[in-house]
Chain A
């Protein structure tokens, strides 16, 4: 038996590696997540209102979904101002997250921290203009400033509280926000053009992934939609049933469980046809959307339609395009929500008067659908939590991708480093 380990994987939020085991026959590939946080042990016994601040450890969007779950737990409706502020924060998080991924992708063939004079010498056909990479990071920094204004802190926001947000904005912030919004929008238009010229499929090892289902919550609805690989709706159910519909499979080789649809039963990842696993995220949203709420003129929309056809195929390059489409959408929404009219109002939060004992919320985060459910005692002390994280849901897909890269590159063990890079680039947009 021969083991090959490719580690540590680049751009993964958690420590992860790929292990390939050859034992005669075709190689077996495992994507291993090497650690776990044990969130329920962290949260049980805490006062429930602290959860938004604790669970941002998963990603900033978990702060928002957690606050929404608290709204339902305390049976309180946030005022429109608070809803807008949270939404503005969410859109900014989309922008930051996707921009960072594009930054990683575009700078993957060069070292962005290299001495400038050296990096000029090392230019090859893969290199992306350094200027573009710097501009991406400049806009990430701008958007981070906006998240700091809206969320209090950039990476672990704190402003969402049960029933609203914790403070009003001040005048200088409105001006700054609209500046940021405009700048981000105009850059996202530019980025779209540059990316179309760069052709992501030529920058990476592009391939189609075997068709699996996808889960999304479209628009502001409260329905989870399950779509097949062609984007056709196969079934839908109310969002608050999601924890009943989804099961978690544990495997001995990774700390991350696999989410699957319970009614179809778990199939091993090795089986020829996998029916119960699914994925979430930008590409899932793009595939299931019939129409994209585009903030821009029809002309731009048309150019996208030309690139994608009616539904984008399930491939790596398209996943990157999906990021870019969402950057576009997010920037448009940001400009809209950053207007002073959207972010002013008489009330910032409604004070809860009761504790229902159970709270639930689900939203589309940058990386895909996420959901929280809490149970508390009468004093609001957490007794039970359930969390659906996008990484758990995409775990199966990521394993399939790693497997596929190893299987497709016949010469993978002559150049394991190249295989590692291919896997990393393929996992990044999900």
Chain B
């Protein structure tokens, strides 16, 4: 089997995704006989002209949101050089935390600054809004999470490197993936485009907290109460997004007593995470009186910033950019 070539790149975001790849370093070492990391500016100091010399890359892991012209150019360049493009982490997959900036009401004072024309320092211009990778180029697979969990990232790397060639490795990896994905990689077929390397159900399915009947008369902000350990947070009146969010983290946050904020994006069956949460939360209101329900609703704050914390750019149906908007690089005037 010829060696596969991998590339890793981060646009606007933080280094957490790349650090997660570094954290699997010990296992990553075992890949060296089957794959080479040929482009990874953060760790290997690779340069762009080196990428062209390498010839086509087999799998590119792209992290970070598209915030500037430079991010867009990098995405296009890596796409044209790579056979498979993987959006790695919430920023690349859904816009992530950086896309929260677009929720802020736009007024002339806080409009993103564009630099003067003819800037001799060639500082890349900011895009009109924050885009996810799929708005700019075609994306083959997604590895969600902020940052992605080591397990799924490793599963994604292994599956795309071996792709049916090393049954022992693949069978272990496949055991963690959703069935359709697992079946295709064990039989050496490229998984369907758009597959997500994470679970299919909602986080609640793997959250260890006990869920009983959901009825509440009051909503609490996370600082106001110390939730009982072991009982569903939503039942205790804390806004937890587990039921609209894709499973795969194993209930990391809820296990620590912190509510889910949806960094894996929406679950497969959900249309819009905000709509799902509205429906789920309101059905738990233990009241039939309009005025009472209205009073209860008033205690909620910042619904959009909570429900779309990591996913505003792609999964908020009302905010997804139209094709025109994504196609154009920022205006140079």
A34/B97 in contact, CB under 8 A: no
A7/B47 in contact, CB under 8 A: yes
Stretch of A150-158, A295-303, A321-329 lying at the B interface = A150-158
The reply on B146 being an interface residue by CB < 8 A is yes
Contact A253:B104 (CB < 8 A) given known A35-B67, A156-B16: no
A57/B45 in contact, CB under 8 A: no
Which B residues between 1 and 41 are near A, CB-CB below 8 angstroms?
10-16, 19-20, 22-23, 25-26, 28-29, 31-33, 36-37, 41
CB distance from B254 to the nearest CB of A (A): 10
B45/A252 in contact, CB under 8 A: no
The reply on A283 being an interface residue by CB < 8 A is no
* A3, A30, A53, A348 — most chain B CB neighbours (10 Å): A53
Contact A38:B115 (CB < 8 A) given known A138-B26, A166-B256: no
Report chain A residues within 8 Å CB of B22: 100, 137, 140
How far, in angstroms, from A116 to B13 measured CA to CA in the complex? 32
The reply on B279 being an interface residue by CB < 8 A is no
Contact A15:B12 (CB < 8 A) given known A70-B223, A166-B256: yes
B116/A252 in contact, CB under 8 A: yes
The reply on B297 being an interface residue by CB < 8 A is no
Which B residues between 192 and 233 are near A, CB-CB below 8 angstroms?
221-226, 229
Report chain B residues within 8 Å CB of A152: 252-253, 255-256, 258
B100/A54 in contact, CB under 8 A: yes
Instruction: Give which listed residue, A11, A38, A140, contacts B42 with CB less than 8 A.
Output: A11
CB distance from A381 to the nearest CB of B (A): 6
A49/B222 in contact, CB under 8 A: yes
How far, in angstroms, from A420 to B45 measured CA to CA in the complex? 9
Closest to B146 in A: A156
Contact A137:B26 (CB < 8 A) given known A111-B44, A379-B301, A421-B45: yes
Stretch of B117-125, B133-141, B164-172, B317-325 lying at the A interface = B117-125
Closest to A157 in B: B256
Report chain A residues within 8 Å CB of B101: 37-38, 41-42
The reply on B305 being an interface residue by CB < 8 A is yes
How far, in angstroms, from A252 to B226 measured CA to CA in the complex? 48
How far, in angstroms, from A140 to B257 measured CA to CA in the complex? 26
B23/A161 in contact, CB under 8 A: no
Q: Is the interface of A mostly helix, strand, loop or mixed?
A: loop
Report chain A residues within 8 Å CB of B100: 41-42, 46, 54
Instruction: Give which listed residue, A114, A138, A166, A417, contacts B32 with CB less than 8 A.
Output: A114
B70/A15 in contact, CB under 8 A: yes
Contact A153:B229 (CB < 8 A) given known A8-B41, A161-B223: no
Q: Size band of the B side of the interface? A: 35 or more
How far, in angstroms, from A49 to B239 measured CA to CA in the complex? 13
B257/A45 in contact, CB under 8 A: no
A57/B14 in contact, CB under 8 A: yes
The reply on A201 being an interface residue by CB < 8 A is no
CB distance from B301 to the nearest CB of A (A): 5
Number of chain A residues close to chain B: CB under 8 A: 77
Report chain B residues within 8 Å CB of A124: none
CB distance from A113 to the nearest CB of B (A): 5
Contact A32:B123 (CB < 8 A) given known A37-B98, A53-B258, A140-B23: yes
How far, in angstroms, from A324 to B30 measured CA to CA in the complex? 29
CB distance from B232 to the nearest CB of A (A): 15
The reply on B71 being an interface residue by CB < 8 A is yes
The reply on A141 being an interface residue by CB < 8 A is yes
The reply on A174 being an interface residue by CB < 8 A is no
Contact A115:B302 (CB < 8 A) given known A57-B97, A161-B223, A252-B116: no
Report chain B residues within 8 Å CB of A11: 42-43, 45
The reply on B261 being an interface residue by CB < 8 A is yes
Q: Chain A 16-41, CB within 8 Å of chain B: the 1/0 string?
A: 00010100000000101011111001
B12/A41 in contact, CB under 8 A: no
B12/A35 in contact, CB under 8 A: yes
A158/B70 in contact, CB under 8 A: no
How far, in angstroms, from A348 to B227 measured CA to CA in the complex? 12
Contact A113:B23 (CB < 8 A) given known A54-B100, A156-B146, A351-B224: no
The reply on B110 being an interface residue by CB < 8 A is yes
Contact A35:B223 (CB < 8 A) given known A8-B41, A44-B104, A137-B22: no
Can you add 14 more A-B contacts, CB < 8 Å, to A15-B70, A351-B226?
A: A8-B48, A42-B100, A44-B104, A74-B223, A112-B25, A113-B29, A113-B31, A155-B16, A162-B223, A168-B229, A252-B119, A254-B123, A379-B301, A417-B47
Closest 3 A/B residue pairs (Cβ):
A152-B256, A10-B45, A253-B121
Q: Could you pull out 30 A-B pairs where Cβ atoms are within 8 angstroms? A: A5-B122, A8-B41, A11-B42, A12-B42, A32-B123, A35-B11, A35-B70, A36-B126, A37-B101, A38-B101, A42-B97, A45-B305, A50-B305, A54-B309, A100-B22, A111-B44, A112-B29, A113-B44, A137-B22, A152-B253, A152-B255, A152-B256, A154-B23, A159-B258, A161-B258, A253-B123, A348-B226, A349-B226, A351-B224, A420-B45
